[in-house]
Structure 1
Amino acid sequence: MRLTGILFVGLLFMMACTNNQPIKSDDLLMPKPGQIGIYYFRTSIRCETCDAIEQLIKDELAGNYASRLKEGEIVFRQFNLDDPAVVDFAQQFDVVFKSVIILKDEGAINLTNDLFLYVLPKPEKSRELFENTIDQL
Structure 2
Amino acid sequence: MNLESPKISVDKSPEDVFNFLADIKNFESLMPENISKFEVISEDKFLFALKGMPEIILKKKEVIPPNKIVLGAAGGKIDFSLIANITEVNSDSSEVKLDFTGDFNPMMAMMIKSPISKFIETLASSIPKAI
Q: Decide which structure has the larger Cα Rg and report it.
A: 1
Q: Calculate the TM-score normalised by the size of structure 1.
A: 0.29
Decide which structure has greater helix share. Answer: 1
Q: Calculate the TM-score normalised by the size of structure 2.
A: 0.30
Bigger relative contact order (CA 8 A; separation at least 6):
2
